[in-house]
């Protein structure tokens, strides 16, 4: 477990300056192959993209990552616990402007739990729309009330269960990965990047939980991802910047 030390918002910003860009790039890339590192870098560093020719949804998703990161900084300093309102706010920030017309016609909105049921895997995991808030509230109570300090086990369980509940019509992966890191940081643990090239391993770990509620593979993957994030971060950043 890699500890993170901070007292002020500035402390966090310094430590996560490169991380925030790589996290946004990979978290979006996992589910949207149109995500381009150059665009992520320009939005985070310069708040604009010049001569953009991609689709607008991808651009919104990148800008949303930046706004969500900036919003959560103060909450991390206050060590605000995960709650239903916080989860809804993170979802609203990460998905605004990205819901397609089909979802809108079904009444789905950023920042609101799903109003319809969706097939989200071969075993159709996901709480029914009427049970989402109850199931999520029970999960939040579990992680907030535990006396355990085994934060990697706790966050592995939280992430697996959150994705299993699948509380929103879209954006569950991005929200879940953001909340996972948020939980680690409010407990003074360094966040992590799930790299796009590792997404098959990641999905397999989540599927293992869906099938038999075994979180050990996901916990091992999270430890691996955390080590990879902080041991190769500088090298990865330099490699990606070479394309700028």
134 alpha-carbon distance from chain centroid: 21
Compare 124 and 45 and report the one with higher pLDDT: 45
Domain boundaries, the chain: 9-241
Q: Which is nearest to 160 in space by CA: 116, 218, 83?
A: 218
Classify domain 9-241 by CATH number. Answer: 1.10.3290.10
**Helix pair angle (56-78, 17-31), 10° resolution:** 130
Average pLDDT, the chain: 92
Instruction: Report whether pLDDT(204) > 90.
Output: yes
Distance separating alpha carbons of residues 57 and 69, to the nearest angstrom? 18
Indicate the DSSP class of residue 196. Answer: G
Phi, psi dihedrals of residue 143, rounded to the nearest 5°: -80, -30
The confidence score (pLDDT) of residue 32 equals: 95
Whether the full predicted model's pTM is greater than 0.85, yes or no, is yes
Distance separating alpha carbons of residues 72 and 50, to the nearest angstrom? 27
Instruction: Report whether pLDDT(238) > 80.
Output: no
Across 174-198, average pLDDT: 98
For 142, the 3-state DSSP assignment is: helix
pLDDT-based confidence at 118, cuts 50/70/90? confident
For 3, the 3-state DSSP assignment is: strand
pLDDT-based confidence at 50, cuts 50/70/90? confident
Write the CB contacts of 219 (distance below 8 Å, at least 6 apart in sequence).
152, 153, 156
């Amino acid at each position: 477990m890699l500890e993170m030390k901070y007292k002020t918002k500035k402390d966090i910003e310094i430590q996560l300056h490169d991380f925030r860009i790589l996290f946004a790039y990979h978290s979006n890339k996992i589910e949207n192959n149109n995500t381009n590192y150059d665009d992520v870098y320009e939005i985070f560093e310069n708040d604009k993209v010049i001569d953009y020719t991609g689709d607008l949804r991808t651009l919104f998703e990148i800008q949303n990552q930046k706004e969500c990161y900036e919003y959560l900084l103060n909450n991390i300093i206050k060590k605000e616990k995960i709650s239903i309102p916080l989860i809804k706010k993170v979802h609203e920030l990460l998905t605004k402007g990205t819901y397609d017309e089909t979802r809108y016609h079904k009444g789905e909105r950023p920042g609101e739990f799903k109003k319809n049921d969706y097939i989200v895997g071969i075993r159709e995991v996901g709480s029914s729309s009427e049970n989402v808030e109850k199931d999520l509230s029970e999960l939040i109570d579990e992680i907030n009330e535990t006396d355990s300090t085994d934060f990697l086990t706790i966050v592995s369980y939280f992430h697996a269960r959150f994705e299993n509940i699948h509380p929103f019509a879209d954006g569950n992966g991005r929200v879940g990965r953001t909340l996972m890191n948020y939980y680690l940081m409010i407990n003074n643990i360094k966040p992590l990047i799930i790299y796009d090239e590792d997404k098959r391993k990641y999905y397999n770990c989540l599927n293992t939980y869906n099938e038999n509620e075994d979180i050990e593979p996901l916990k091992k993957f999270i430890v691996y991802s955390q080590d990879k994030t902080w041991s190769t971060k500088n090298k990865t950043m330099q490699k990606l910047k070479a394309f700028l």
